[in-house]
Structure 1
Amino acid sequence: MKNWVKLLISLALPQIAGISGALFTVTGEGSWYRQINRPSWNPPGWVFGPVWTLLYILMGIAFYLVWKNNSADRLKKPAMTFWIIQLVLNFFWTLIFFGAHETGWATLEIIVLWIFILLTILAFFRINKTAGWLMVPYLLWVSFATALTATIWQMNS
């Protein structure tokens, strides 16, 4: 497969996951999210779109750098599998939190997501250092999102 096709697929996959998750993300007036208790440090709603778009682009570039790399399959296969798993978990967090309104389950799920992001980063570093570093902002954002999710769960239990 040509590298430009790999790049397009790599950039499209996270965006598709993000757009799919956005279908369950209702935060407007009268929404469940507006009615629950949230901490004072909850970011304004307009922050999430640009942040996630940038993170999805970085994730896609990182995946591309690993996919096109000439490393042995014994290194690439687990790295790419971890990346796909974390992307699926990313989608399911949105479904659990915004779709099902299950803040406790969302807290547990985001912790599992965080672990898979870390596993992805460690596997990517073994193949391409830049790919590993491109995933770090995502891990930092999900660390913040984990604290936010757990706090919302606690505040609404």
Structure 2
Amino acid sequence: MGKSWIIPVTIATFAAIIVASLGATITDLGPWYQYLAKPDWNPPDQLYPIVWTLVYALITVSAITAWRAAPDSRLAQWVISLFALNAFLNITWSLLFFRLQRPDWAMVELGFLWLSIAVLIVFCGRFSKLAGLLLVPYLVWVSIAGALNWSVIQLNGPFG
């Protein structure tokens, strides 16, 4: 790895740690969440940090790979901007669902989060197939979260 990797690796890793930390801080598995009715297929709570750690690692490698593969600085800036928007949407979902206790609002926001991941896959995949493929598990995991979010709404709504 040459010196040209130092800045992308440092920034992407730092950003991933911040987003993961904010998401973890916002996520409250206290009484409100514990008393929600959930579907039988709800993954065990212990699985979430394991999967999210893997997903964030893949997102980080994807961001670095796409940033480095961008053919010019304008496209590299788009890569950074799209990942930043996705990070904002990721954190916002946790805020809406856990802190504001509004799974209904979180479900609407999740549509934007899902779309942002799909856009990242297509955009980054144009100049790095690997960067796009590394985001597929993220899209799958958010799709599962969406199905779970919908089930929580159906089993517990209305909210607010």
Q: TM-score, normalised by structure 1?
A: 0.92
Secondary structure in 2 aligned to 1:131? helix
More displaced 10-residue stretch of structure 1: 61-70 or 119-128? 61-70
Task: Please say if residues 12 and 60 of structure 1, whose CA atoms lie closer than 8 Å, have aligned partners that are also in contact.
Answer: no
Distance 1:153 1:45 in 2: 18
Partner of 1:155: 155
> Structure 1 stretches (4+) deviating beyond 2 angstroms?
72-80
Q: Provide the aligned C-alpha RMSD in A.
A: 1.5
Partner of 2:146: 146
Percent of aligned positions with the same letter in both sequences?
Answer: 34
Long gaps (5+) in structure 2: none
Using the TM superposition, give the Cα deviation of residue 87 of structure 1 relative to its aligned residue in structure 2, in angstroms: 1.1
* Per-residue Cα deviation, 1:66-86 (whole angstroms, up to 9, x for no partner): 112251344333333222111
Counterpart mapping for 1:1-157 below 5 A: 2-28=4-30, 31-157=31-157
Distance 1:70 1:25 in 2: 34
Aligned length: 155
Task: Please say if residues 75 and 127 of structure 1, whose CA atoms lie closer than 8 Å, have aligned partners that are also in contact.
Answer: no
Distance 1:23 1:80 in 2: 24
Long gaps (5+) in structure 1: none
Q: TM-score, normalised by structure 2?
A: 0.90
Distance 1:78 1:16 in 2: 20
Task: Please say if residues 62 and 135 of structure 2, whose CA atoms lie closer than 8 Å, have aligned partners that are also in contact.
Answer: yes
Distance 1:36 1:96 in 2: 15
Task: Please say if residues 104 and 153 of structure 1, whose CA atoms lie closer than 8 Å, have aligned partners that are also in contact.
Answer: yes
Distance 2:8 2:95 in 1: 28
Task: Please say if residues 124 and 132 of structure 1, whose CA atoms lie closer than 8 Å, have aligned partners that are also in contact.
Answer: yes
Task: Please say if residues 68 and 76 of structure 2, whose CA atoms lie closer than 8 Å, have aligned partners that are also in contact.
Answer: no
Distance 1:130 1:78 in 2: 17
Distance 1:95 1:70 in 2: 32
